[in-house]
Every structure is written in C-alpha cells, then in structure tokens.
Amino acid sequence: AQTVTQSQPEMSVQEAETVTLSCTYDTSENNYYLFWYKQPPSRQMILVIRQEAYKQQNATENRFSVNFQKAAKSFSLKISDSQLGDTAMYFCAFMKANAGNMLTFGGGTRLMVKP
Amino acid sequence: GAVVSQHPSRVICKSGTSVKIECRSLDFQATTMFWYRQFPKQSLMLMATSNEGSKATYEQGVEKDKFLINHASLTLSTLTVTSAHPEDSSFYICSARDGRGALNIQYFGAGTRLSVL
C-alpha cells in the first residue's frame, strides 16, 4: 500500500514571499502520478499541479512549481509571490498508474498567507 | 478544467431518515467516480469507487448497506446515506476521473455537509 506524508501541519508566509510545502511518499511502484490539491475555506478541492513519475522535469504552473526527487520519494510544492488567496489546506496525493486511478492523500498542510 | 457538480451542498436531516447526494460530471463522461468523507481538519478518506454500470467497490470498514452508491450513467453517481445517525454527520466529497487523454486527473465536487440531528 502507498502512504503519503506531509510533515508540516501548519505553515505561514508573508504576502509576496516564497514558501515550500513538503511531501514524501512510500511506494514500490515505478509508474505513478503525484498531485497537489488546494482546499480553500470554501472546501472546494482544486488541482494545483500534477507530475508524472517518468518525467524528470519538474512541473510548473505559474507561481507554483514542484521539486520532484524520485529516488528520495519526495515531492515538495513551492509557491512563489504568495497571495492572500493562497490561504488554504494543501494536500499532496499519489496515484498508481493503470490501477483504478485511486488517489491516496497526505494529511494536509494548512497554509496561512499573512498581509 | 472539467466541472463536477455536487448537490446538495448542505443537508440537515432527522435521525433515521435517508439522504441522497448527487455527483454529476458536466462536460465530460466519467466511467469512474469516487466518494470521500472528510472530518474537520482532516484529510480525505476514500469511501468507495463508483463504476458506471457495475457495483461500487467499498474501502475496508465502509458499510455498503449504509452507504448505497449508484452509478447509472456516465455522468451521474449518487450516494445514499441510509437510516442516517448523528455519527454520519460529516463532509462528503465526490470526484470524477476525466479519462480523456492520459491525464488521469480527478476533478472534485464542492462537497456536501451532512448534519444529522
């Protein structure tokens, strides 16, 4: 079974600064996908960024980028130029390829962006 | 991204009644949908995987007779909480897998807050 660990229950950052959220996972699979989802106070889950394990290049979406270290089984999320609207719970998630597409979520990190 | 609609967003019911929650993929067909439960300040726990035209697959510890899932079409899955009790009060979220291409992305509904009195 896969496990996903987010070691930072809560974090805070000043507006316009950069913050990195940590995520590690444990799997024996070689082919899989990793995701970061954001859950703002509205509780709507929003996909932030996605990474295929076979790709060495780190995924980037505007102010959001990841540092994917496959050998270390690490998948951190960097948020640059933090905005007040980034305040939310962030969940790291793992999905095995070709296996029902189930997501395994980490425990989440609550991020507060301060003005 | 794709849109998943979940209804109702909030429901309050008396103990012993049944509640139905709908999850619709609005602009894509979803052969697979997922139902999650989320307790306050916790992560999402997968309850079951809903497959169009076949029986749902329930996670260990989830009572299939308590949480009835029906996935009768490629755009609609329903979760019925039967004979609801206060301990069933929770936030329920559905997601649908967009199988177009190889993206394997799950899109989520806005969730349903169930309060059982």
Name the residue facing B97 among A37, A43, A101 (closest C-beta): A101
The per-residue pLDDT for A26 is 96
Residue B61 DSSP code: T
The residue of B28, B44, B45 whose CB has the most chain A CBs within 10 angstroms, and thus the best one to mutate to test that interface, is B44
pLDDT of B54 above 90: no
Contact across the interface for A42 and B110, Cβ inside 8 Å: yes
A96 neighbors A32 (Cβ within 8 angstroms): yes
Query: CB distance from B24 to chain A under 8 Å?
Result: no
Secondary structure class of A39 (helix, strand, coil): strand
Closest-CA distance of chain A to residue B38, Å: 10
Summarised one tens digit per residue, pLDDT across range B10-31 is 999 999 999 999 999 998 888 8
Residue A79 CA to residue A49 CA, distance in Å, equals 11
Closest-CA distance of chain B to residue A84, Å: 20
Residue B34 CA to residue A64 CA, distance in Å, equals 26
Residue B72 CA to residue A94 CA, distance in Å, equals 28
Name the residue facing A33 among B32, B104, B110 (closest C-beta): B104
The per-residue pLDDT for A1 is 78
The phi and psi torsions of A60 (rounded to 5 degrees) equal: -140, 135
Contacts of B32 in chain A (CB under 8 A): 100-101
pLDDT of B102 above 80: no
Residue A21 CA to residue A82 CA, distance in Å, equals 13
Summarised one tens digit per residue, pLDDT across range A92-111 is 999 988 767 789 999 999 99
pLDDT of A79 above 90: yes
Closest-CA distance of chain A to residue B45, Å: 8
Greatest CA separation for chain A? 43
Residue B110 CA to residue A77 CA, distance in Å, equals 23
Residue A31 DSSP code: S
**Spatial CB neighbours of B58, under 8 Å, sequence gap ≥ 6:** B47, B48, B64, B67
Summarised one tens digit per residue, pLDDT across range A25-40 is 999 999 999 999 999 9
Contacts of A51 in chain B (CB under 8 A): none
